[in-house]
Amino acid sequence: MTLVLHTRARLRAAMADAARPVGLVPTMGWLHDGHRALMRRARAENAATVVSIFVTPRQFGEASDYTRYPRDTEQDLAICEAEDVDIVWLPAVEEVYPPGFDTTVSVGAVAEPLEGAARPGHFDGVATVVATLFALVGAERAYFGQKDAQQVMVITRMATDLALPTRVIPCPTVREADGLALSSRNVHLTPAERAAAPVLRRALIAARDAYTGGERNGDVLRGLMQETLANEPLAQLEYASAADALTLRELQRIEGPALLSAAVVLGTTRLIDNELVGPAE
Ligand code: AMP
């Protein structure tokens, strides 16, 4: 039986009684197989699993992006039940940000480029809500998708710097058969945009394959992604990046682990994806 809780007080009380260790999966709902993979991993590695479902207004730059974010609580709860999740935390906005809430967790350099530059304030919103979640749940582990690679880096930096007891576990990106990364936002794609969307993955694979073939010039790798995306008239490039996998600084020459990443807009839908290359740390 999945316990569905709505308030900080009930969540705290439930966590005091929970079996340990606890695995936490923070989500914004509209759950799909990518979220399910995180839940399964949490279930396999912990005695209790907690899923949070909360669309935080603070991490959306534009109000319209927040209000149109897809929501289906009934379906989400059915998925959590099917995945044997112990506790779902489904708070109202004022439960996460009670009156007087006036703290922002702001991570430094690693939160600045890429998504941080494209969506000002986004990572402050993410870090603040995840810090609150980590404090309330007190999980031993929290599971995040590598699809949002920079988010993993930002949260890991925050957890390390603030000595939070929750370990951040990155999990592989789950994809459709044609390579498109699963995302709640894919629901907004028109059929033509959906057909065009795998170009993002193709662009990253073109750069990855060039890297594997010996190409180490950052401009060439970024150029390959740009060229691939330019061939798809429905896709508008936001950025194509070949950056140091630890600092996210753009690289002229790839010598260590690197994060290839790109963001595109198809119609009104923004999609991101990435690929890690280079020697494992
Ligand atoms: P979201 O609900 O989009 O905020 O995502 C909640 C968590 O699920 C984040 O850690 C995401 O990185 C992760 N996630 C989203 N899509 C995928 C995917 N296709 N594969 C793996 N993890 C994902």
* Residue 280, pLDDT score: 58
* Nearest protein Cα to ligand 1, atom 13: 145
* Residue 56, pLDDT score: 84
Task: Collect all residues with Cβ–Cβ distance below 8 Å to 181 and sequence separation of at least 6.
Answer: 34, 147, 173, 174, 175, 200, 201, 271, 273
Q: Is 23 in the pocket of ligand 1 (CB under 6 A)?
A: no
pTM of this prediction? 0.97
Q: Is 238 in the pocket of ligand 1 (CB under 6 A)?
A: no
What digits encode the pLDDT tens for the residues 43-94? 999 999 999 999 988 888 877 788 888 999 999 999 999 999 999 999 999 9
* Residue 281, pLDDT score: 46
Tell me, in angstroms, the distance from the centre of ligand 1 to residue 37's CA.
Answer: 9
**Atom number of ligand 1 nearest to Cα 38:** 22
* Nearest protein Cα to ligand 1, atom 22: 145
What digits encode the pLDDT tens for the residues 197-249? 999 999 999 999 999 999 999 999 999 999 999 999 999 999 999 999 999 99
What digits encode the pLDDT tens for the residues 149-203? 999 999 999 999 999 999 999 999 999 999 999 999 999 999 999 999 999 999 9
* Nearest protein Cα to ligand 1, atom 6: 27
33-45 vs 73-82: helix axis angle to the nearest 10?
40
Known catalytic membership, residue 35: yes
Q: Is 27 in the pocket of ligand 1 (CB under 6 A)?
A: yes
Residue % of the chain over a pLDDT of 90: 94
The whole-angstrom separation of Cα 256 and Cα 266 is 32
* Nearest protein Cα to ligand 1, atom 11: 145
* Residue 140, pLDDT score: 98
